[in-house]
Every structure is written in structure tokens, then in C-alpha cells.
Amino acid sequence: MSTIIPVGYKSLLSIYDTQKAISLLKRLFEDRLAALLSLYRVSAPLFVEENSGINDNLNGVERPVSFDILRSDKRAEVVHSLAKWKRLALKRYGFFPGRGIYTDMDAIRRDEDVLDNLHSVYVDQWDWEKIILPENRNLDYLKSVVMDIVEAVCDTQDTLQAIYPQLQRLKKLDRKVTFIGSQELEDMYPGLTPKERERRFTRENGTVFIIGIGGALRSGKPHDGRAPDYDDWDLNGDILFYDEVLDQEIEISSMGIRVNEESLDRQLTIAGCDDRRELPYHRMLLNGELPLTIGGGIGQSRVSMLLLGKAHIGEVQASIWDDETLAACERAGIMLL
């Protein structure tokens, strides 16, 4: 069974207080994130045109949910994420360096191969994107943005624990971020899988950012899959927090400095995706017509799990679960929304 039920687990909040806390959490975090990163809230699409090249291809094998449109010859597909759409929006809206946007993103991951405590076919996240200058395309700038996001999460936890004293039973998240390269991590734990390395390192360090995801390591395999046409594989990474309830890492964000013409050209070739060069979005990028940006997604349900001390993502979001998961949670007294 994929679902883990921690021994003696009991929700710290009632179902009603949980719903109230989620609403408050989202408002608090959005305001703090927007202030720290100079972001403005915008509306975003639930679906995009199938042949636009705007949808996130994730690992390249996941199938988007698609549908035809009455009285139109176009087909649409539900977004996997808004990684590319946001960059186009920044150009269309006339933003300038140092400013950006954030939005609510809802997606369906129909090919999610494991449904467990952290994974659902429904994805809800804050998608954000910010215009940067050429001199910002470096690791120091990436790290500074990561620390701002961690600060926003920790500040939100502080406020929630002041309002809901029950949550003070949870340890404070570590505000200090430990940065490590994916190759360093492989060298440190060569006998472990990437996920096992993440778990070991996060248990030891609390709050972690793993740098460099998508390109092959010396083992010949990448730390994790990443589409070749939004993040620069040398300037991206994942934010992970240690979660005491599950005694494991929770990845709350995949983010990075986005590809420029050179890195897109290189990564499309490495990934065997040269056919994408003719798509409208990719032609604009290769022609230097889009702004340089940094951006990412921050999982709303995962942040809610982490800050509210929940054991299963279904306690903070409504989705569809297999019968085994439903039975296990019912036996443990875990209320799935």
C-alpha cells in the first residue's frame, strides 16, 4: 500500500477549523510571497490550445486531458502547469525587470502513477514568474529567491500557530536553507535512489534546495525529470522541507531561472525534442522575443499539509482515491475531503 498512516496520528484541527485554516493560510502566504518577490496577482487559464506549445510537457510522457471545442477546429488541453504561459503573459502585460506575477493554477495529472500521501491526480499550486536582468542568471540570485520563498512559508507558519495554538505542537520549520547540487548528492549517497538521497539529506538538514535537475549526472541518469523548454537545468531546483508527521521530505516547489536562447537550443537537442523548435512559443524564445525570467510552482495542498500537520494530502484537497487508500484512511479515522 502506498498510503502511510503514522502511528497514533490524529489531526490537530477539526474538519471545520481545517477548512478555515486553509483559507487563512492561502491569504497569508500569497500576501507574503507577493511582497517579498514583488509579484502581482493575475487570472490564468485552465486550458490552452493543443498545438500552441504553451502547455508544460513535464517529463514528456504524461498525457494532458484534451477536448474539442464546439464550432471550432481547435482542440484544447488542460494545463499541466503554467510555466510557459506566465512568460508570455509578462511580455503581453508589459512588465519590466524586478516585477512579476502569481496566480492560482489547477491541473489534472491523469498519468500520476502513484497515489499516496503526497500525490494526487488533482494539482493546485501558486504559479509565479518574474522578469530578471541578464546579470541575474546565476546561482547567487537563484539562492536569494529560494530564501525569500522559505521565509514566506515560515512567516505563514508563525502566524497560523499564533491563531491556532493546537498547531504549536508542530516544530518550527527551519528557516536556514541548505543548498546542495544534485551531483554532490549522488556522490554523497551513490547507492541510494534520488528519492532516498532526498529523504536522507532532508532528515539531516531540515530545509533543503537541490540544485540542477533535468540533466544527466555522472551515473548517466538525471536526478529527476524536467522538461527541456522552461527551466535551465543548471539554474533550477526543488525546495524540500522535513515533515515531522510523515518523517520524510515534502517537496513544496519546483522552480528555476528559465531557459534563454542558448540553453533552450542545447536542452532541446539533449532531450531529443528538436521538433518543438517550430512551435510558436519556442520560435519566440529562440528568436529572443521573450523576457528573461525566473519562476516556479508552489504546491498549495502540500504547504497546507506541512503547516497544518496533516498526514495525507486528501485532508486538505478534494480528489479521487483508490479503494485501498479510502479504506486505510477510514480505519485510521482520517477524514478525506
- Residues noted as catalytic: 56, 109, 125, 238, 251, 254
- How are the residues of the chain apportioned to helix, strand and coil, as percentages rounded to the nearest 5? 40, 20, 40
Of 249, 247, 252, 193, residue with least CA distance to 224: 193
Separation in Å, CA 133 to CA 98, 99, 113, 239: 8, 11, 38, 23
CB atoms within 10 A of CB 232: 24
User: DSSP readout, 157-209?
Assistant: HHHHHHH-GGGGGSPPPP-SPEEEEHHHHHHHSTTS-HHHHHHHHHHHHSEEE
Calpha distance 3→43 (Å, rounded): 34
Of 317, 327, 318, residue with least CA distance to 26: 317
SS3 314: helix
H/E element holding 41?
Answer: strand 39-41
Q: Are 55 and 114 in contact (CB under 8 A)?
A: no
